[in-house]
Amino acid sequence: MTRVTVWTEYRQERNDPAVAAVYPDGIHTIIAEGLRDADFDVRTATLDEPDHGLTDDVLAETDVLTWWGHVAHGEVDDVVVERVHSRVLDGMGLIVLHSGHHSKIFKRLMGTTCDLNWRESGDRERLWVVDPAHPIAESLGEGFTLDAEEMYGEHFDVPAPDRLVLISWFSGGEVFRSGCCYERGRGRIFYFRPGHETHPSYRHPGVRRVIANAVAWAAGPKGNAPERRDRPEAPEMESSGD
Amino acid sequence: MTRVTVWTEYRQERNDPAVAAVYPDGIHTIIAEGLRDADFDVRTATLDEPDHGLTDDVLAETDVLTWWGHVAHGEVDDVVVERVHSRVLDGMGLIVLHSGHHSKIFKRLMGTTCDLNWRESGDRERLWVVDPAHPIAESLGEGFTLDAEEMYGEHFDVPAPDRLVLISWFSGGEVFRSGCCYERGRGRIFYFRPGHETHPSYRHPGVRRVIANAVAWAAGPKGNAPERRDRPEAPEMESSGD
Amino acid sequence: MTRVTVWTEYRQERNDPAVAAVYPDGIHTIIAEGLRDADFDVRTATLDEPDHGLTDDVLAETDVLTWWGHVAHGEVDDVVVERVHSRVLDGMGLIVLHSGHHSKIFKRLMGTTCDLNWRESGDRERLWVVDPAHPIAESLGEGFTLDAEEMYGEHFDVPAPDRLVLISWFSGGEVFRSGCCYERGRGRIFYFRPGHETHPSYRHPGVRRVIANAVAWAAGPKGNAPERRDRPEAPEMESSGD
Amino acid sequence: MTRVTVWTEYRQERNDPAVAAVYPDGIHTIIAEGLRDADFDVRTATLDEPDHGLTDDVLAETDVLTWWGHVAHGEVDDVVVERVHSRVLDGMGLIVLHSGHHSKIFKRLMGTTCDLNWRESGDRERLWVVDPAHPIAESLGEGFTLDAEEMYGEHFDVPAPDRLVLISWFSGGEVFRSGCCYERGRGRIFYFRPGHETHPSYRHPGVRRVIANAVAWAAGPKGNAPERRDRPEAPEMESSGD
């Protein structure tokens, strides 16, 4: 069974009544609930736990990590960022959610600023599937609509995604590459746009479906860990059917 | 259980003693044997059967089709080519093997000449994994070696693959993009280089592993079939968790 | 100086008063005017000329071909389609405009249906730049707006573009991958969405800029034509600085 | 005229007689010579200069930076790395040469380890063109041969290149993705494999041609710098032909 660790800052839910009204037990609780409903083995971790809840042991037992942060990216310890980075390159999946676009770990993996345009306006958002054969698009049909969300607009300063699965339309006039797949090292990374803290998007069935599909995709079969070293001779590679 | 149809010309095995010595019951028999060992539900079809064995009914019951042809590409009926083409765009996987690079169906899907350089020389071939996180690379380690094969050399006139999984090294001095993934419509396509009719490559455990991995990948979850038509209004897309 | 051939059907402008009102001398005249203003060497060709105006001689003297068709795709001779196809693979650029998505030549090169959703509604269209470093995006800033256009909506059944430069937003609620780059053989192909025959989009400065940028990009430096043949020995490739 | 800054460590040429014998005036001198012959405006900079020769002023006047390092990657000041990183995202081209694969700036941009296999063996290397339409392949024909080089073998731990132009064959049995294009922010990056310090590869006409072609490509037209900020309203984008 795929083991998922759901990580969030869990700050605004405790400090900001507007956020607490939407997610009284924290965003992580609701994301975790959706993933348990999809039959994953789920634990949570948050910023203010020791090691942010992301010890070597926790990461070793995590197949896919989901990441939501917003106001406290700078408080994430660089040691933990490097630990997560190493695990991703070694094969752990990573699902970066909404304002996690500015997290240290996402910028570390992308190599770019990950900047974008935004508007806290309650725009209507329509997410369109542009790669219907992709596993993350399974059961989404043409896409789905969120009645009110923060707007994120292009240009989104990320590498061109290895696969682009979703594009968002906003009622105010913008578009955004909302579902972006990357492979780095042996790890799979998915950026998924929705999820502002004042909107109940993580309770929406379409959003939940995307996250569950993404976790299944990111936990998919991995190749072997390649050796990379001085090679006095080329390896024999005589057979490898097993 | 994934249903595979293994298609070959089955001509040289009956006409050419050098080929019959290697594949007395046809190349398709040996490819099918390898896939049955990998627990797929396998049937075979060959050129000289009615409809080349590829009726609408057979294709409707096929999740992944493997294709090997060489000397009789021109004899494949255009009606069957269009039938296979439609099924691939609708989600059937297609594994194109070796000299199938010049088949009508592969050229139809690629839109290019699919030409390449070649040498029937018994070169030593080493196949290197360049995308170790890809499901098709699973259990291959760094790659594997074939003691004698026909050489295929660049430039290979195909679209840049959506994912490049394997590169071949030949003892005579050439390289080749040997494992190329494409997505077209809702279908997944994999081109895999080895398999000249005078060499027993389809009995090799590494080759068998690649074909089995590719079948599993190409049969992977599909999104929904999108509608494409006049839309007097944008669709509602109210929710889609199911 | 880059030599461009502007091809259109030139039918609706002669038969349909609503189209003639917008393009009295034909769509090709206005596209050609825009390209001459950008200092290209431009000729035009249309469906009802002998060989549709696309003889071997014309194509041999064409660096980039632009293609607009709509109601008469089926009347384009397959011989001419194959002629254009060969020239593209040999290095001629091709700019496919609007309803040219259903032309024989575009479907031939893509290998897919190229189907999409549409609505003749006069939607407002906003074209957003998502790859600001691409030569086709030069001088476009964030993008531009067309006050009224036909809507084209996803899913657009094409291979994932090699580079995606523009995404359209429509006031009715849809999005579309509006500027798609492909490389096939030695040729560069750009699909560009706007240009319904009842709207004056080919007079719009943003649309003109994209087409001019695309022509310059598609006419860019080409590598050498590779040989692809039986190679009894690997080539020497001793040096190649010139 | 495109302005190039050629950067190297310039350490082994002063400390190691075997290297000094090949590059008595430093590797940078020979790379710069090749680029001046190709009509670029070239300056050089090296590790032991103040700010490693890479001040804000120098970078502001640099269209393309070439980077060769090997034994002293750790001595490159993080401040300079961030300065170069910002300039690349803002549009400066970057050509990373040979052992520069382990430079801080390349790893910063790629987000991966950039590890690989190697052998200092004097292998024969054949570089094959696999994207003959790419500007970097111009005038290379099928490729070229280096009589003796260090071997670099797969798996090379980088993101899948946006365009793969060259693949190397080594006499010892390995292959390597030797010419890899990336776009990050508004900048273009090219990794090019050859150039071990004990081999005269930077005097070879094929190597010189690739570097000159890559500089021309990386200095290509740039789009506008996008704004990314809070947008109380979507921008008007009324026209943009200029």
Instruction: Report CA-CA distances (Å) from A228 to A235, B51, B133.
Output: 12, 50, 15
Residue A41 distance to chain D (closest CA, Å)? 28
If you search the block for the tokens 């059967």, which residue do you land on? B49
If you search the block for the tokens 């789920």, which residue do you land on? A42
Residue of B nearest to A209 (CA): B241
Residue D161 distance to chain B (closest CA, Å)? 10
Q: Dig out the tokens for B105 from the structure.
A: 């169906």
Q: Quick one: pLDDT band at residue B222, thresholds 50, 70, 90? A: confident
Amino acid at C34: G
Tell me if residue B132 falls in helix, strand or coil: coil
Q: Which residues of D touch C188 (CB under 8 A)?
A: 133
CA distance D218 to D207: 16
Q: What does the pLDDT read at residue A133?
A: 86
Tell me if residue B64 falls in helix, strand or coil: strand
Contact at 8 Å (CB) between C151 and B231? yes
Instruction: Report CA-CA distances (Å) from A173 to A153, B45, B202, C173, C178.
Output: 9, 53, 55, 10, 16
Q: Which residues of D touch B168 (CB under 8 A)?
A: 175
Residue of B nearest to C114 (CA): B185
Identify any residues that bridge with C80 across adjacent strands, giving them in sequence order: none
Of A132, A221, A234, the CB nearest to B224: A132
Which domains are assigned to chain C? 3-218 (3.40.50.880)
Report yes or no for ipTM above 0.90: yes
Residue A51 distance to chain B (closest CA, Å)? 28
CA distance B85 to B105: 7
Of C131, C170, C177, the CB nearest to A130: C177
Q: What does the pLDDT read at residue D133?
A: 86
Q: What are phi and psi of B136, to 5 degrees?
A: -70, -20
Residues on chain D bordering chain A, Cβ-to-Cβ distance under 8 angstroms: 89, 108-113, 115-119, 121, 151, 153-155, 157, 159-160, 162, 170, 172-174, 182-185, 226-234
If you search the block for the tokens 């682009």, which residue do you land on? A164
Q: What does the pLDDT read at residue D239?
A: 55
Q: What does the pLDDT read at residue D234?
A: 84
Residue of D nearest to B165 (CA): D160
Of D109, D157, D173, the CB nearest to A234: D173
Name the average pLDDT for chain B. Answer: 95
Q: What does the pLDDT read at residue A225?
A: 78
Q: Rg (Cα) of chain D, in Å, rounded?
A: 18
How do residues B190-205 score in pLDDT, each as one tens digit? 999 999 999 999 999 9
If you search the block for the tokens 């000397």, which residue do you land on? B71
- Helices (runs of H) and strands (runs of E) counted in chain D: 7, 9
Cβ contact (<8 Å) for A240 and B204? no
Instruction: Report CA-CA distances (Å) from A2 to A56, A88, B93, D79.
Output: 18, 15, 26, 41
How do residues A166-206 score in pLDDT, each as one tens digit? 999 999 999 999 999 999 999 999 999 999 999 999 999 99
pLDDT at B241 over 50: no
Tell me if residue D60 falls in helix, strand or coil: helix
Of B203, B220, B193, residue with least CA distance to B64: B220
Q: Which residues of D206-240 are buried (b: 16+ CB within 10 A; e: fewer)?
A: bbbbbbbbbbbbbbbebbbebebeebeebbebeeb
pLDDT at D238 over 90: no
Q: Which secondary structure element, helix H or strand E, spans residue B206, and what is its range?
A: helix B205-218
Cβ contact (<8 Å) for D130 and B155? yes
pLDDT at D242 over 50: no
Residues on chain A bordering chain C, Cβ-to-Cβ distance under 8 angstroms: 126, 128-132, 142, 153-156, 160, 163-164, 167-170, 173-175, 177
- Torsion, CA A149, CA A150, CA A154, CA A158, rounded to 10: -100
Q: How buried is residue B17: exposed, middle or buried, by Cβ count under 10 Å (0-12/13-18/19+)?
A: exposed
Residue C39 distance to chain D (closest CA, Å)? 14
Percent of chain B scored above 90 by pLDDT?
91
Selected residue of C115, C163, C167, C174 to mutate for chain A interface (largest A Cβ count, 10 A): C167
Amino acid at C21: A
Q: What does the pLDDT read at residue D169?
A: 98
Low-confidence ranges of chain C (pLDDT < 50): 242
Q: What does the pLDDT read at residue B223?
A: 65
Cβ contact (<8 Å) for A241 and B206? yes
Sequence-separated (6 or more) residues with CB below 8 Å from residue B202? B23, B27, B30, B31, B34, B195, B208, B211
Of C35, C14, C12, residue with least CA distance to C197: C12
If you search the block for the tokens 């003749």, which residue do you land on? C120
Of D236, D106, D118, D119, residue with least CA distance to D180: D106
Question: C138-142, D74-78, D92-96, D192-196 — which is least confidently predicted?
Answer: C138-142
CA distance C210 to C38: 11
CA distance D191 to D172: 22
- Count the helix, strand and coil residues of chain C and give each as a percent rounded to the nearest 5: 30, 30, 40
Cβ contact (<8 Å) for B142 and A227? yes
Cβ contact (<8 Å) for A228 and D155? yes
Contact at 8 Å (CB) between D195 and D207? yes
Cβ contact (<8 Å) for D111 and A184? yes
Q: Dig out the tokens for C212 from the structure.
A: 């001019």
Q: How buried is residue D159: exposed, middle or buried, by Cβ count under 10 Å (0-12/13-18/19+)?
A: buried
CB neighbours (10 Å) of residue B79? 11
Q: Which residues of A touch C168 (CB under 8 A)?
A: 175
**Across chain C, which distance is largest between two alpha carbons, in Å?**
64
Instruction: Report CA-CA distances (Å) from A7 to A30, A39, A50, A96, A190.
Output: 12, 18, 13, 10, 15
Amino acid at B144: F
Helices (H), chain A: 12-15, 17-22, 27-37, 56-60, 78-89, 104-110, 205-218
Q: Which residues of D touch B164 (CB under 8 A)?
A: 160, 164
Q: Which residues of D touch C145 (CB under 8 A)?
A: 236-239
What is the layout of strands, in order, in the sheet containing C64-68?
Answer: C41-46, C3-8, C64-68, C93-97, C187-192, C175-184, C163-170, C117-129, C143-153
Of C171, B237, D234, residue with least CA distance to A146: B237
How do residues C96-122 score in pLDDT, each as one tens digit? 999 999 999 999 999 999 999 999 989
Q: What does the pLDDT read at residue D223?
A: 65
Q: What does the pLDDT read at residue A223?
A: 65
Residue A192 distance to chain C (closest CA, Å)? 17
- Strands A93-97 and A64-68 turn out to be parallel
CB neighbours (10 Å) of residue A122? 16
Average pLDDT, stretch D55-68? 98
Of B131, B155, B167, the CB nearest to D175: B167
CA angle (A36, A40, A45) in 5-degree steps: 75
Contact at 8 Å (CB) between B130 and B164? yes
Amino acid at C106: F
CA distance C133 to D183: 8
CA distance B27 to B6: 9
CA distance C87 to A108: 44
Instruction: Report CA-CA distances (Å) from D68 to B34, D28, D73.
Output: 48, 8, 10
Q: Dig out the tokens for C103 from the structure.
A: 């032309």
Q: Dig out the tokens for C59 from the structure.
A: 């194509």
Sequence-separated (6 or more) residues with CB below 8 Å from residue B82? none
Indicate the angle between helix axes C27-37 and C205-218, nearest 10 degrees: 70
Identify any residues that bridge with C65 across adjacent strands, giving them in sequence order: C5, C94
Q: Which residues of A touch C130 (CB under 8 A)?
A: 154-156, 175, 177
CB neighbours (10 Å) of residue C238? 10
Separation of first and last alpha carbons in chain C: 23
CB neighbours (10 Å) of residue A25? 12
Amino acid at A184: R
Q: What are phi and psi of D39, to 5 degrees?
A: 70, 30
Instruction: Report CA-CA distances (Å) from A203 to A208, D2, D168.
Output: 7, 54, 51
Q: What are phi and psi of D210, to 5 degrees?
A: -60, -45
Tell me if residue D89 falls in helix, strand or coil: helix
Low-confidence ranges of chain A (pLDDT < 50): 242
Q: What does the pLDDT read at residue A239?
A: 56
CA distance B116 to B157: 7
CA distance B199 to B177: 20
- Strands, DSSP E only, in A34-76? 41-46, 64-68
CA distance B151 to B196: 9
Q: Which residues of A touch B187 (CB under 8 A)?
A: 133
Contact at 8 Å (CB) between B42 and B36? yes
CA distance D217 to B172: 32
Amino acid at A209: R
Residue of A nearest to C155 (CA): A130
